[in-house]
Amino acid sequence: MTARGCGKVRGVGPEILEAGVAAIARAAELIRAGDLVAFPTETVYGLGADATSDAAIAAIFAAKDRPTFNPLIVHFADPRAASRQVAFDARARLLAKSFWPGPLTLVLPRRESCRISLLTSSGLDTLAVRVPGHPIAREFLAAAARPIAAPSANVSGRVSPTTARHVVDSLDGCVSLILDGGPCEIGIESTVVDLSGGPALMLRPGGVSREAIEAVIGGIAEFGGGDAPAKSPGLQDRHYAPDRPLRLNATRAHAGEAFLGFGRDAPKSLPGDVMNLSPSGNVDEAAANLFAMIRALDRKGISAIAVAPIPDHGLGRAINDRLRRAASGDA
Ligand code: AMP
Ligand code: MG
C-alpha cells in the first residue's frame, strides 16, 4: 500500500537519527540527491527538499498532499544567501537584522536571477524566505550548501509536528530521514510578513509577535480583504485540524469532551482527559505546548476537544489564529 502520492510504501518507516555531526552530513547528502529530510527548527519540524530542484519540490507537495497553489517557505543558512535570490528593501533589511536567525518569514520579490524552483512559490513572482535559528537547522543548511524549501512535516491541513515522533505519525514512509533534535522550543510556525510591494502586510501571525515587528518597522496591515487569496493562496483553508472537532472559548468540558485549559483557573480534574497549555498563564509556554497537547487529546471516543480562551496578545494571537482555523468547519 502506498501513502498518498509519495510512492513509498507505508510502514517501511523513515530512518530516524539523533542529530549529531554524522547524521547531519547524511541528511545533507540525501538533500543533494533529491530526497526529503525532516528536520527540527525552533518553530515546528520541517519537511525539507532542495529548493532548486523541481522534482524534489514536487515530492514535498506529493508527500503532504498539499495543493500546488500553496507556496512553500525557503530556508537559508544566512541572510546573504537569501539576498542572492530575492530583493530586500530597507524594511526587509531592518527586520532581517532584528529577527534572523529566527521565526520570521519575509515575502519578497524574486530576483530575475533567482534559482529557486518556480513550483516552490506556486508560480508567483514573490518568494517566502527565512533564516531559522535552531542550531541543527543551521548546521543542516550549511552542510547541504543550498536553499531548502520546508513546509511543516505533516499532511496538508493537519496538526503540525513539534517532535520527531509526530513526523513519523504524520508522514511515515514518505520521508527518507528524520533528524531528531527533541521538541521544538517555540512550537508554532513562523510569522509571515509580505514586503513585496506597498505597505507591510502580516500574512500569518507566528513566532515573532506583531508588537515586536511594529517596534522595528512601525504599523503593519492585517491580512484580509479583497486581494487576500491572491496574496497568500494557502491562508484561506481549514488548517491545523485534529480528527475530533474543537470547541473554542470553553470554560468547561461537556460530557464526552476532552478539555484543553489555560492559566491557573482551568479545572484540574474532569471526567474526561484534561491538559493545561500553561498553568501559569504564559502564552509562550502555551504556544510550545499547543500542537503536542492537541495531538495527545485527539483520541477516539471523545466528542470534541473543548479549549479555554487564550489572551490575544504576543504569541497568543498566533495560537488563536491556529485554533480558529483548526476549528473552522466544525459545528
Ligand atoms: P507552511 O509552509 O505551511 O508553513 O506555510 C507557508 C505559508 O506562507 C503559507 O500560508 C503560504 O501561503 C505562505 N507563503 C509562502 N510563500 C508565499 C508567497 N510567495 N507569497 C505569499 N505567501 C506565501
Ligand atoms: Mg504547515
Cβ-contact 326, 293 below 8 angstroms: no
Does ligand 1 come within 6 angstroms of the Cβ of 190?
no
Report in angstroms the alpha-carbon separations of 203 from 48, 67, 107, 221, 268: 22, 18, 9, 9, 36
Cβ(267)–Cβ(259) below 8 Å = yes
Compute the distance from residue 255 Cα to the ligand 2 centre, in Å.
32
Mutate to test the pocket of ligand 1, among 196, 232, 239 (most ligand atoms within 8 A of CB): 232
3-state class of 218 per DSSP?
Answer: coil
- Backbone angles phi and psi of 58, in degrees to 5: -60, -35
pLDDT < 50: residue spans in the chain:
1-3
The angle subtended at Cα 142 by Cα 140 and Cα 149, nearest 5°, is: 65
CA of 241, nearest ligand number: 2
pLDDT of residue 3: 42
CA-nearest residue for atom 2, ligand 1, is 151
Which contiguous run of DSSP H or E holds residue 317?
helix 315-327
- Residue 88 has a pLDDT of 98
Atom of ligand 1 nearest to the CA of 73: 15
Domains and CATH numbers, the chain: 15-222 (3.90.870.10), 246-327 (3.40.50.11030)
pTM score of the predicted model: 0.93
Per-residue DSSP letters for 176-216? SEEEE--S-SS-SPPEEEE-SSSS-EEEE--SS-HHHHHHH
C-alpha 70 to ligand 1 mean position (Å): 6
What pLDDT does residue 223 have?
Answer: 77
Instruction: Return phi, psi of residue 202, to 5°.
Output: -80, 105
